[in-house]
Every structure is written in structure tokens, then in C-alpha cells.
Structure 1
């Protein structure tokens, strides 16, 4: 974001009360952006948004970096377990969430979380881990959320750890990334970047379930020729991909690919969270109706590969990948290709395939395997 626009955005946040006290003044004096992880807003998280097992919780606004290494603001929440921290502080899990939408009101630190995610994160809290949970850039902060922009999401997740430790001295330097779906892909990006991006922290590894990967390869099958698959989720995902890629790389002409109906859906998706409302809105529109030309044609792939391709090198800590065989959001073959590509590059993730589990069920279904994995990494 250019400095003038960024200054206006920060001014708006200060006026809205999202930047507090001297922090607001400091942010306004620094229109080019603060250091990654620098906190510019710190408020108590409303009690109704706490996870079971929380002793204290805060909502932060902090600086991070886009995938083009430009300064940007993100928000997120800190959940600290009840009780006395262990020697050295609470080990930290940085939660990178799955698809919620791209509108500001979809940010989990404002909108809350699904029962699935609350139960999952509460399980980790009760095991003695602090949970820090980024909303990602553009969900509740200036600009449009760059959906599936893996480096930007990873930056936000890593800088959330920095921000949380800046305001809570009970948090340890040792940390891991955990994520599901969109956040699973973000956690894999994080695993490839964490040590180099934040060498002052003690990064230990990552857990990713149903990880978004090989997105461009899957998207290349989409176009007017795609069979009319009745799936509101697929339609919403396709719309979010177009919104996110345009936001991440403004030179990309999304409209060139869209039908009039597609343009209407993408415009609606910018303001709609992935809820029952979206399912009702998109339920009668199949993904092929969105597109006037295949995504395999033109410059889509060139832009999307740069933004969405999971790194295949840079992994220096353990990586856990969990995938359900009945997942119809992130298909098993996509994750198997990711595993094969990683192994071809010398990366040996710990892989768990869950027969009969779908996208959502894999989150809790992976816990008997991921909990000992995390305990070993922190030991």
C-alpha cells in the first residue's frame, strides 16, 4: 500500500478506536509501517470470544508484510491458558485459520469461530499451550484480504507470535504453526519461511491438516467447460480466488475471465463470509457459470503460481501433514502430489492419511497423532 494511502488507513483505524493511546500516535508518526510484529492496537478480547480454558485473551493490531514485502496491518487474538506458566513461559501455537471469507466482518477475532475450531483450539490450550491466532492481512484491516497468498499469510502468522510476545511476557520464544485448509497451506508456507523470517524466535515445526496446495493445477480445470457441479463451497472458493489474486497482484485482470454472473458473484463474495448466507446466495450457481474462458488460458497461471505455489525447499524443522480420504474441499490427490513434490526435494514430512474423514472431521481426527508430534517438537 503506498505511504499516503497507508497513513490514511492508520488514521481511520485510530479514529475508530482500534489503535489505542500513545500507540495510535506512534503509528500515525510512522506512515511507512512499523517493524514486523510491532503492536499498534491492544484491547481485551470480549469474553464471548474466549476459548474454553482461556485465562486471559487480547485482540491486537500489528504490523506485518505482504508477499511483495510491503508493510501492512493485521489483527489477531492471543489466548493464554489459565494457571501458572511453566518455567520459560507458555509454548506458543500460531493458529492459521481456514476459509472464512474476505470481508472485514469475517475476521475471527471479531466474528468468532466455528464450534469445530473452538473445540480444536481449546484442546491445545488445555494441554498448556498459548494460542495466537492471526486474522490475516485485510480481514479487519485496510485493503482486501489476499486469499491464498501464502507468503502474506505466513508473515501474518509469524508476526502474530512477535506481537503477542511483545505484550505478554508469559509467552515463550519457542513456537509452532498449526493450520487447517487455507490455514493448512499457510502453515506449510510458514514452515518453509519461519526460521529465516524471524531468527530471534525458536521455531520448532508445523502441523497442517487439509492443506491448500496445488491450487493453480486444480484451478486450471475450471472454466465454462467445467461440468455443472452443485457446490456452493466450490463456487465461493473460486470467487475468493479471483478476489484474492486481484488484491495480491493488481495487474491481474480478473474481469477478463468472468461472465456477467461471475462478476456479480465475485462482487458479492467480497462482502460475504463463508456462512449459511453464502451457501444460500451461491447454492444455485455452479462454478462453470462464473467463467467466460478457462483459467488454464491467459495470464492467470503466471500470477497465481507466484502467489499460491507452496515452497518445496527451506524446511528445517518437523512438518506434520494430515489429510482425510473423503475431503471434497482439498482433494486427496492434491495433498499426495504435495507430499511427492516435497519428498522429491528432500523434505520428509510426517504424513497421516485418515480413511473416511472429510475436510472438517480431519481437524479433530488428527489430534491423536498431532498432539504427540507437537509434544516431541517442544521437548
Structure 2
């Protein structure tokens, strides 16, 4: 399809990225064997329980260097494990387990961090377990992705923590990625922890200390996992959760994001809920224009750079029949409104301490709704530290105010997580 009115800033960013990076390539299949796709899901799924490992394979991450004990900072296994969707049905989810090649020196058993990645996209090519092997993915003209989460994952590995990264439901595997679906993402995170404890030949066991970690979409997924753990995975030894830039209230996020570089990300959510909740399909179809339907179908196959380039700096009002935005339409569609309300994070109590980090001037995920999440959890009796990242507004609408806090809070988050693993008392700002 001809590119629809490129977002100016997003197009410039993409062009610069394409000029300074080159794509890696996954190892080719032997010429005398038929290609085997790791992401093919067994049908039907074998009997089992959430967290069971369905298959695994070792692969070399693109950014590693050899040393005396193996690749630094880690080798990797691509895994497929059993999880649960938002409606309680068994699904297969993929991910990557990283076995740190440096020692854990803080005392006690080596810990495991379950890493919930930020927004990658909705196309299968965007799955982190694929991008860790490439770092950069590019197919002309605009199918482009960079595995930016390598920075945070390697920071954790460099401290001697093992890491398992979930791809979430439907990213890499068949079906639509369950983007911002609170339960589906939270279950995928918790079951990734279970899967890591069941892999053979690892140092991670049933009683290993576990931390949950994520920013942006990953912040929402790790926050959801923290409050769902008590009922879904109470046996896990979770010591703490770092959740940054948490989209806890999707109504507020939809209003904030529309019109900026990230407008197309709303399409990921609409696609996820359209696929996962049949009761809302008629309502969505009734408000979408033919162009809007075409846009959503295309977005379902894209990674973030292409989505931002094509649809950034536009508004979702361009996709509807009467010119109202998605945020304006939510309250006019009762079934849609009910599904969005179900995604609200902050109504259950995390069993372990939480660090919430939020930029004061975040231009993608509103500050106020993150503050409300912290207050809600405090009222429920959780131990919460709320860390405000005071970064001034920079080019509002271009997500700089959302991206920078992930970097400024990283040293604090690493120290905070280390303290949870060594048993230090968790700080709280609930009474501040």
C-alpha cells in the first residue's frame, strides 16, 4: 500500500536509524533439511499446567562476546511455554531465557528477573525472542525494528541475575498479540517465571528469588503480574516488582497519546481487544470507517517504527465514521467501555514491594494515572515506592518525555531490585 501521510518526526527518526545501523541475520537452515519454524504451536496443546515448557532451543544472541566461561553476558534459549489467556484458556507463549555468565556475588542463590518488554509492535517479526538474534530487523520499505530492550536486559545480566523475557501472547505465535490486556500479559509474565524454573540444566529452582521488571507496556504487564500473583501463581518467590511508565488506566492513555507520534499504538490495543473479546466487535465495526478498518488491519502486521512512521502525528478521528476519537467513543460503546474498565490496574494488592517510576512530563503515559496507581496500592496495604523522574518537557508528542525516564531511573531500579534479593527492608513513600 502507498504510505499514508508520513508522520514528519517519525519518518525522520526512521531515516536516521536506517542510515546508522545494519540488519543482522539469523542462522540459515541447512540446505538438505526442510525449515522448521520454532513458533509453530502444537495442536492441540499437550496436557499440562501453566508454565510447562513445550519446547526450547539454544541460540546465540547477536550482541555477545566469547570469554572463558561462555558468551558474555549470557547464552540464550528460545522457549515456548504454556500460559493462560484473559478468559482462562490455555495458550502457548514464546520467550527467551538468558543464563548469566557472570557470578551473582550478593549472597544467596542466583536470582531470576522476569522481564516484560515495552512495546515492540503487533507483527510476529517484532517478537523479542526473534529480535535478540538480529538486534535490527529490516525488510523494505518500512518494516523496521530494533531490540532496544537489550540495554536493560544486559544491565541485569551484568549483575549476575538470570533473565527470562516473555514475548506475550500472540507475538511470534499465531493470533493477535494481546497488547495491553491486563490479565493475558500478567499471566504471560508469571508463567515465564514458572517456565524458567522448569528448564533443565539451569541454576534456577522452585525457591529461587524472583523479580518482575518492565517499563511502558512492560510496566503495565509487570504491574498486572504483581497484583495477580496472589491468586494465579502464589507459589512463586517474588521479592519485588519494578514497573515504570505504567499504563494503568487505558482511558487516560488513549486521550493522552492521540495526535502524537504514538497514535498508531492505539491500533494495537483496538486489535487486541477486537480479537480477544467478541462481544465488542459489532460496536467497533459500527464506528470504524472503511479507511479505519484498513489501517487497523495493516497495524496488526507492523512493528513500532513503521506504525509510528505511517500514523504518527495523526489522530484516531481519521479512522472513525463521525470524526470522533477513540477516547471520545469509549463511553458511547457500553461493551467496549466495560472491557476497557476491566484493564484498570490497581484494584488488587501486590504481595511483594513495588517500585513505580514515572516521568513528570511523560507525553505518552500520563503522570496522574501512575500517581493514582501508587495511591490505590498504598490504600490496599502494599509497600510502594513512587519515584518521580523530573525531566522537563522536550518536543511534546514525540515520546521523548516517555523514553528518557526509562534511562534515568535504571541505576535506581537496579539497586532497588538488588536490595530486594538480598533481603533489605523495602522503602515506601505511601505516607509521604
Corresponding residue SS for 1:153: helix
Aligned to 1:107: 127
1:171 to 186, 194, 204: 204
Aligned to 2:307: 278
Between stretches 128-137 and 250-259, larger displacement belongs to: 250-259
In the aligned structure 1, how far is the partner of 2:388 from the partner of 2:51?
Answer: 35
Choose between structure 1 and 2: higher helix proportion: 1
In the aligned structure 2, how far is the partner of 1:360 from the partner of 1:59?
Answer: 27
Q: 1:281 to 1:333 in 2, by over 3 A?
A: same
Aligned length: 351
Q: 1:182 to 1:50 in 2, by over 3 A?
A: farther
Query: How far did residue 50 of structure 1 move?
Result: 5.4
1:128 to 160, 175, 192: 160
Aligned to 1:81: 100
Note the aligned Cα RMSD (angstroms). 2.6
Query: How far did residue 191 of structure 1 move?
Result: 0.8
Q: 1:19 to 1:311 in 2, by over 3 A?
A: same
In the aligned structure 1, how far is the partner of 2:179 from the partner of 2:84?
Answer: 15
Q: 1:251 to 1:367 in 2, by over 3 A?
A: same
Q: Deviations over 1:60-114 (max 9, x none)?
A: 0111001111000100001111135667642000000111111211101112364
In the aligned structure 1, how far is the partner of 2:274 from the partner of 2:173?
Answer: 17
Query: How far did residue 15 of structure 1 move?
Result: 8.7
Aligned to 1:314: 349
Unpaired runs of 5+ residues, structure 1, are 1-13
Q: Within the alignment, does 1:232 sit opposite 2:261 as a pair?
A: yes
Unpaired runs of 5+ residues, structure 2, are 1-33, 66-70, 136-145, 393-400, 423-432
Spell out the pairing of 1:1-379 with structure 2 (5 A cutoff).
16-18=36-38, 31=45, 34-48=48-62, 53-84=72-103, 89-112=109-132, 114=146, 116-167=148-199, 168-172=201-205, 173-219=208-254, 221=255, 230-234=259-263, 236-253=264-281, 254-275=284-305, 277-283=306-312, 285-292=314-321, 293=324, 294-299=329-334, 300-306=336-342, 308-356=343-391, 358-379=401-422
Aligned to 1:8: none
Corresponding residue SS for 1:346: coil
Query: How far did residue 251 of structure 1 move?
Result: 2.0
In the aligned structure 1, how far is the partner of 2:98 from the partner of 2:60?
Answer: 12
Query: How far did residue 239 of structure 1 move?
Result: 0.8
Between stretches 263-272 and 160-169, larger displacement belongs to: 160-169
Q: 1:284 to 1:190 in 2, by over 3 A?
A: closer
In the aligned structure 1, how far is the partner of 2:386 from the partner of 2:161?
Answer: 23
> Any conservation in 2 of the 1:153–1:186 contact (CA below 8 Å)?
yes
Q: 1:210 to 1:170 in 2, by over 3 A?
A: same
Q: 1:215 to 1:205 in 2, by over 3 A?
A: same
Q: Deviations over 1:19-75 (max 9, x none)?
A: 79xxx9xx55x6465311111121112331659943321000111001111000100
Query: How far did residue 376 of structure 1 move?
Result: 1.9
> Any conservation in 1 of the 2:215–2:406 contact (CA below 8 Å)?
yes
Query: How far did residue 295 of structure 1 move?
Result: 2.1
Aligned to 1:5: none
Q: 1:199 to 1:284 in 2, by over 3 A?
A: closer
Q: Deviations over 1:112-150 (max 9, x none)?
A: 364642122211111111110000010011221111011
TM norm structure 1: 0.85
Query: How far did residue 270 of structure 1 move?
Result: 0.5
Query: How far did residue 257 of structure 1 move?
Result: 2.6
Q: 1:298 to 1:230 in 2, by over 3 A?
A: closer
Q: 1:218 to 1:321 in 2, by over 3 A?
A: same
In the aligned structure 2, how far is the partner of 1:282 from the partner of 1:374?
Answer: 37
In the aligned structure 2, how far is the partner of 1:55 from the partner of 1:122?
Answer: 8
> Any conservation in 2 of the 1:19–1:40 contact (CA below 8 Å)?
no
> Any conservation in 1 of the 2:39–2:94 contact (CA below 8 Å)?
no
> Any conservation in 2 of the 1:32–1:71 contact (CA below 8 Å)?
no
Aligned to 2:398: none
Q: Deviations over 1:259-295 (max 9, x none)?
A: 22221211110111111x2222213642221233522
Corresponding residue SS for 2:121: coil
In the aligned structure 1, how far is the partner of 2:101 from the partner of 2:406?
Answer: 24
Structure showing greater Rg: 2
TM norm structure 2: 0.75
